[in-house]
Structure 1
Amino acid sequence: MSEDQDGDETLPADGSLGDAVQQLEERLLDGRPRLTRQEVADAAGVPMMLAEELWRLLGFARVTDDDVAFTDADVEALRLTHDLLRLGVLDADSQAALVRTWGRSFARLAEWQTSLMARVALEDGQDPAGQLARFADDVLPRIDKLQSYVWRRHLTSAAGRLLTSAGGAQHAAEAVSTQTVCFVDIVGYTAHSRSLDESELVAWLEYFEDQCAGMSLDAGARIIKNIGDEVLLVADAPGPMVGLALAMTARGEDEADRFPRVRAGVATGEVVSRLGDVFGSTVNVAARLTSVSRPGRVLVDAGTHDALAPAEATADADDAPAYRFKRVRRVSVKGFARLAAWTVRTRSVG
């Protein structure tokens, strides 16, 4: 290894790591690039205009007509995509959105996995090319199989949830259903993040996301996405979601718990589900309630309150959720004038 003037180690200049990266590319793409984009389109039997549109939506770098940048794997992928279009699985309305979602999702996953490869390749400081080759031989095949397994399990779960419920097939087709939405937001994120270095900040956020994921699964809720210091969740019923939000805020108020202080907003109503995300007025209400909620508190909308208020009235029953609601002054937030809201607590808390 050589050192620069500051004494930092640099990568070997003999091209061995570059050769290893090229070998990795050939392994992942089933061979060395030998085709231009026009040759790929011709071999797949796909119009060049369609091929270019699909590559753009997937987020791939644009290449010139003369660039030899593709392999037989690209031909097969383009052919399969065209088959899905021909079979009607991808229609004109869903094609762009679905392919774009694939591109963004796998681009983020690839960025993380590349960081993992870099760490493995450079960890001993002696043979990065050999380490990368071993990674390709021993690790990548297992990652490939595991990704396929995870996708299949989630597909099974989603199909069981949507297609077997009452009206589920219709809801799946229309992508509209009644759900409970919750945003959980870290209190004082900006100030706290300034006191952490990069690795500490990543560790802190990963701990938050990991704990949210575990608690959500236990409660029967689903994480839609993490947005920096905020997590968006959905559930099929308001009771479990309110219980989950209260559990998270309670952990945040416990000084002995690493879980950060949070606030939450919960709303129940019609939700549009599309490509793994959720949209609509109910989602917006949950977001607005979170923005005005006090630290350690959970605010709920009228839909959530009305669904759980009968249980509150009979809260002495053994099987009734022990929630206590308190009406707050109507709030005016962007898009919603005089929004009705309630704070909610477990009955055992005062």
Structure 2
Amino acid sequence: MEEYLLGEKPTLTRVQVAEQAGMNQTVAEELWRLLGFPQQTDEAVAFTEADVQALRETDALMRLGILSPDSQAALVRTWGRSFARLAEWETTLLANVATAGPDPDPEARLTELAAEVLPRVESLQTYVWRRHLAASTSRMFAVQSVGATKVQLAVCFVDIVGYTSQSKSLDEAELVSWLENFESETTGLVVDHGGRIIKTIGDEVLFVADDIEVAAEIALKMVEKGADEDDFFPAVRAGVAYGEVVNRLGDVYGPTVNIASRLTSVARPGSVLVDAGAYEQLSGRTSDADGDERESDPGSSAFRFRRMRRTSVKGYSRLQSWVLRRG
């Protein structure tokens, strides 16, 4: 199985790989570590020609300036984490199929399945990656065309209410099914309404949208699904913020992201909290430090708001928020 997946039987040590690739061994070992693989000894025969070629291509990207010293570690670490999670999930799927039947040799069956399935999976992964590259490139040029240095986005965190207590009452299979349903439903809602999933973190999902009304609608729909006792979707709460966001390696950073996270942590079950930026965009009203408001542009009548008392949270001593409801 290992020989099939790696393309050949391992015949090289890490010293030989670095020498054949013409790369400093310390740099090669650091890249290997960032990918999330265990360190090997100098004598361990654990590598193939594919590892040599990977180092050569990495070196070429560094020479072209694509992988700068600042971005190299972060990008390689992101690759390692993403593919490690994907590999664990795909291996589990194959193993479940291989061991489900009466086959007396499940290891042989697993190898047969891999030979038949993995080339198709690899092709689909490349397709999905290229599609996301195309979408990301379009967004990047759209931003640059108006001369912006940072992107204005609506950012939303959605958190499962009572996750800890609920997870204790479920066995492993039930918990996995419950979380997979949560991820599937949230992804469907976000994508169908024009938002983008950034990441799921166990019992929490982070998504963004170019339009604040889209983010508000998605958050409200999730809360409504969670309140429906006939729906398998769990009860949730959400925090929405609007403002400048830094995009980096597919993730989002900045005060707007932090505020959305803090709002989620203080939101009551079944509620959506929005920050001042989201409130101003949705209501057409601005609020100053004293709480006085004035109307600027007419906001959407699709929503109504209830001003909350200022809250002290990590990083923000007097965070102002509003409960978002349908108009």
User: Which amino acid counterpart does residue 120 of structure 1 have in structure 2?
Assistant: V
The alpha-carbon distance between structure 1 residues 277 and 140, as it changes in their structure 2 partners (threshold 3 A), is same
Larger Rg: 1
Residues 115-158 of structure 1: per-residue CA shift (max 9 Å, x gap): 12221222224221331121122111111111111111111111
CA distance in 1, matches of 2:301, 2:124: 39
Task: Tell me the secondary structure at the aligned position of residue 329 of structure 1.
Answer: coil
Question: In the TM superposition, what is the alpha-carbon distance from 1:237 to its structure 2 partner?
Answer: 2.0
Task: Tell me the secondary structure at the aligned position of residue 164 of structure 1.
Answer: helix
Task: Tell me the secondary structure at the aligned position of residue 96 of structure 2.
Answer: helix
1:339 aligns with 2:319: yes
2:111 aligns with one of 127, 133, 141: 133
| Identical residues among aligned pairs (%) | 57
Q: Which residue of 1 aligns with 2:136?
A: 158
The alpha-carbon distance between structure 1 residues 300 and 109, as it changes in their structure 2 partners (threshold 3 A), is same
1:189 aligns with 2:163: yes
CA distance in 1, matches of 2:13, 2:269: 57
- Aligned runs of 1:1-350 on 2, under 5 Å? 24-125=1-102, 126-167=104-145, 171=149, 176-310=150-284, 314=298, 320-347=300-327
The alpha-carbon distance between structure 1 residues 44 and 169, as it changes in their structure 2 partners (threshold 3 A), is farther
Question: In the TM superposition, what is the alpha-carbon distance from 1:310 to its structure 2 partner?
Answer: 2.1
CA distance in 2, matches of 1:226, 1:169: 31
The alpha-carbon distance between structure 1 residues 212 and 277, as it changes in their structure 2 partners (threshold 3 A), is same
User: Which amino acid counterpart does residue 113 of structure 1 have in structure 2?
Assistant: E
CA RMSD of aligned residues (A): 1.7
Residues 240-289 of structure 1: per-residue CA shift (max 9 Å, x gap): 10111111111111122221111111011111222121121111111111
The alpha-carbon distance between structure 1 residues 215 and 141, as it changes in their structure 2 partners (threshold 3 A), is same
User: Which amino acid counterpart does residue 70 of structure 1 have in structure 2?
Assistant: F
Q: TM-score, normalised by structure 1?
A: 0.86
Q: Please say if residues 22 and 56 of structure 2, whose CA atoms lie closer than 8 Å, have aligned partners that are also in contact.
A: yes
Task: Tell me the secondary structure at the aligned position of residue 284 of structure 2.
Answer: helix
Q: TM-score, normalised by structure 2?
A: 0.92
Question: Structure 2: any 5+ residue segments left out of the alignment?
Answer: 286-294
